[in-house]
Copies of this chain bind each other. A is one copy, B any other.
Amino acid sequence: MFSDYLTESERQLVEKARVFGEEHFTEENVSRWYKEGGIPGDVAEAYRCSDLGYLGFSPERGGPDVSYTAQIAILAELTKSAGAIMPFQSQLLDFQVISRFANEEQMNMILKRYEETSRPCFCTAISDAGSGSDALGYRTTVRKKDGKLVLSGEKVFVANGQHTPYIMVSAKDLTEESDFISAMPSFWLIPSSCEGVSALPINKIGQKIIPFAALRFDNVELKPEWRLGTPYQALSQFQSILDIGRCIICAGSVGLAQAAFDDAVHHANARKIRDRRIGDFQQIGLMLTEMNSMLINMKAHINHACRSIEQGSGAKLAVALMKKYVPATAGEVANRAMQIFGGAGYTDSSRVGRIWIDCRGSQYAVGTDQIMVNIASRAILDKYAEQ
């Protein structure tokens, strides 16, 4: 889908993603994993052992030496193949995140764990129960109590939150009397087994291969060495993670949309009513045309954002525009695909219904549509004000 912007070797990796998907992501498998809320160990291991397995890690850590665009292209390809949001999406995000924050020791632990289990050993708990959209208005805190670091608060919507041995958690740092520091988020990598940590599953309506949990932290005692990064870098690291994270979400969205489109065109060719393929009805033709245009648009937005990140300029605007446009538009594509399938689109006999539901979740993850508008519009105004 993104081949114009890739090198030859990157293109080969994308092709490997396609082949990997073809082998493992049969609809029978995917719909079973959807019911079970996860992928089996052998698939996770096959992925780790493939050339894609360390995607998200830097080359020094074993990651492939590819551009962001290539990573996005690979994830989009995997998602297209599956027709569902796959754990490889959150995993890519997790590895990108942790690579920015963790020190040598932490990284070694994470890599070792990954080798052992073929799964990321941690989840990323950012959204506070009371203030998902207000990234800096959260109430989860780390304080000093009797000389000890104590974490309290409640996180929601944490992908894989119930299953990982570690939790990466963000908290307001109130350990020092510094307005500056308390305004920054602080990040910690803590064992889920700590006393005071509890997890409750949250039932999502879609994206069920990656289950959700709410996490409570009741006066959890932290060790200082669990801190990720330094207070002073946290904000800019966090910002760059949000940028990458938003691209990753959109990679999933475009993959889903492409799958829905492909399925819909095939159906429009195959399904005949009174010997006419339904694709020849103008109402269906109009939908196909709109869907194709939307795919062009989604890819353009993603490319634009990836390149802005790579070139280090204008990323804020480009990423927000992308994250506003792509997930909602993926839903529009899937919605049309469902209609083209007729009643079958509303059942398990096609995968477009599931795709439609999976698309929807990405209008919140890593920042809602509305927050994107706020970021983008401010960036637009500023860009022109400078002129």
Q: Hey, which bits of chain A sit against chain B, CB under 8 A?
A: 127, 131-134, 137, 156-157, 202-206, 212, 262, 265-266, 268-269, 273-274, 277, 279-286, 288-289, 292-293, 296-297, 299-301, 304, 317, 320-321, 324-325, 338-339, 342-349, 353-354, 356-357, 360-361, 363-365, 368-370, 372-374, 376-378, 380-381, 383-385
> Chain B residues near A374 (CB, 8 Å)?
282, 285
Given contacts A206-B346, A363-B339, A364-B343, contact A370 B293 (CB under 8 A): no
Contact A284 B377 (CB under 8 A): yes
Residues from chain B with a CB closer than 8 A to the CB of A206 are 346
> Once the chains bind, are A289 and B347 in contact (CB under 8 Å)?
no
Which residues from B are CB-within-8-Å of A132?
342-343
Residues of B within 8 A of A286 (CB): 282-283, 286, 373, 377
Decide: A348 near B293, CB < 8 A? Known: A339-B370, A380-B265, A381-B279.
no
Chain B CB within 10 A, most for which of A299, A346, A376: A346
Given A202-B349, A349-B202: A277 and B376 within 8 A (CB)? no
- Nearest Cβ in chain B — how far from A271, in angstroms? 9
**Contacts A202-B349, A347-B202; A373 near B324 (Cβ below 8 A):** no
Query: Which residues of the partner chain B approach A368 to less than 8 Å between Cβ atoms?
Result: 339, 342
Beyond A204-B347, A293-B297, 15 additional pairs, beta carbon < 8 A:
A127-B343, A133-B273, A205-B346, A265-B380, A279-B377, A279-B381, A280-B381, A283-B373, A285-B373, A293-B325, A297-B300, A339-B369, A343-B364, A345-B364, A346-B360
Could you name 18 residue pairs across A and B whose Cβ atoms are closer than 8 Å? A202-B348, A203-B347, A265-B380, A269-B381, A269-B384, A285-B376, A286-B286, A286-B377, A288-B380, A289-B321, A289-B372, A289-B377, A292-B321, A292-B380, A293-B301, A345-B364, A346-B360, A356-B360
A262 with B296: CB separation less than 8 A: no
Residues of chain B lying within 8 A (CB to CB) of residue A356: 360
Query: Complex Cα distance A127/B344, Å?
Result: 12
Question: Which chain B residues lie closer than 8 Å to A284 at the CB level?
Answer: 370, 377
How near does chain B come to A105, taking the closest CB pair, in angstroms? 33
